[in-house]
Amino acid sequence: MIAPKLITLENSIVKAMTELGDSQNAINMAAGYTDFHCSPKLIDLVRKHISEGINEFAPSDGVVALRERVSDKIESLYGHKYNPETEITITAGATQAIFTTITALIREGDEVVIFEPAYDSYVPAIEINGGKPVFVPLKGPDFRIDWEEVQKMITSNTRMIIINSPHNPTGMVLSELDMLRLQKIINGTRITVLSDEIFEHMVFNGDSHQSVALYPKLAERSVIISSFGETYHVSGWQIGYCAGPSKVMNELRKVQQVMMQSVSSPFQWALSEFLEYKEEYLELSTFYKEKRDRFNELMGDTRFKPIVSHGSFFQLFSYDDISDERDKDFAVRLVEEAGVTTIPISAFYHEKSKKHLLRFNFARTDENLVEVARRLSKF
């Protein structure tokens, strides 16, 4: 008889909606990948390293050259120097990095503060390690953090706070004041911050990405999670990284060593060289801002109302003017009657949300964005 460890875990709503959409030949605005091809230069670099026979196991903590380039990048952007030997680890994507970090640091009974709506991998990773998620809802139409409420949630058992900026699914971006409030809350505690920064290069509206690496006292107590997939349109490659203090990274590497042998060697070497082309990530915010603005303009002909996205490639739309249905029911009907696949925001809450909001991924070709808006204008 099998005793399930994740009793409360439901099947992925993204997977379920995608399968439903595929069965209806719907346009997929749900899944978290992009419609775009990666740079031909990156493909050429992968070919080069494969043809050179770089196909053996990489070190379990990542190719040194790639860790050095990641260290240089973080220092140039945020001013904090991570030692590539001891403070940076290459992972099989951001989700594995999140799971590994939580597994390394969370024990039975430890409490982890999570802001909802939240990426759906956080809670299972906490629960499978015996931890207890503590949920703090983001407030208002702009999904901001109420730090007074956070302070009230902190107990002697709090061991981690997970932040995510730019935020999935809302597109909210943390401010300098947010980071200073966070820094004050963890001062004098045993709390580690897990900072999910995979959309760091997609920030709009004059905002700037507030990495924990910008704040020395925060950096001492934080693990950064990031990914090459979202940045370079190669989500399927599943290569990410963590950066954090050496004591924490040492524990993380112990877990990673028994979870996996290593991340693909030729792809790591290719990325280490490709990071020299800084324009590939420095120009990403402009690219996605234009996509967001284009999509919102097209959706102006529909009855869906946008909630301003400050970052990421996600955009929330309200359907208050269309229906009173539960968001999951409405999302299913949208697939079946309009041929458009989205994600209901209730998928990102531990309790069912009554908000009439759907998440759209606008990292799509202009042709797809035009067709989605056309279909929804008739809905």
Helices and strands of the chain, counted as H and E runs: 15, 13
Q: How far apart are CA 219 and CA 10, in angstroms?
A: 34
Annotate 47-72 with b (16+ C-beta within 10 A) or e (fewer).
eebbeeebeeebebbbbbebbbbbbe
pLDDT-based confidence at residue 4 (cuts at 50, 70, 90) = low
Which residues partner with 154 through β-bridges?
none
Which pLDDT does position 9 carry in this prediction?
53
Is residue 212 within 8 A of residue 194, CB to CB? The reply is: no
**Span 50-102, pLDDT tens digits:** 999 888 889 999 999 999 999 999 999 999 999 999 999 999 999 999 999 99
**DSSP per position, 324-368:** -S-HHHHHHHHHHHH-EE-EEGGGGSSS-----EEEEE--S-HHH
Which pLDDT does position 2 carry in this prediction?
59
> Is the pLDDT reported for residue 324 higher than 70?
yes
Which pLDDT does position 70 carry in this prediction?
98
Question: pLDDT higher for 13 or 113?
Answer: 113
**Span 116-173, pLDDT tens digits:** 999 989 999 999 999 999 999 999 889 999 999 999 999 999 999 999 999 999 999 9
> Is the pLDDT reported for residue 10 higher than 60?
no
Which residue segments constitute the domains of the chain, with CATH numbers given? 13-31+283-377 (3.90.1150.10), 40-280 (3.40.640.10)
Q: Tell me 144's DSSP state.
A: B
**Span 271-311, pLDDT tens digits:** 999 999 999 999 999 999 999 999 999 999 999 999 999 99
Closest CA to 225 of 64, 348, 70: 70
pLDDT-based confidence at residue 11 (cuts at 50, 70, 90) = low
Residue entry with tokens 């999570």: 114
Is residue 131 within 8 A of residue 112, CB to CB? The reply is: yes
Taking the model in full, what pTM does it have?
0.95
CA pseudo-torsion sign 242, 8, 29, 321: negative
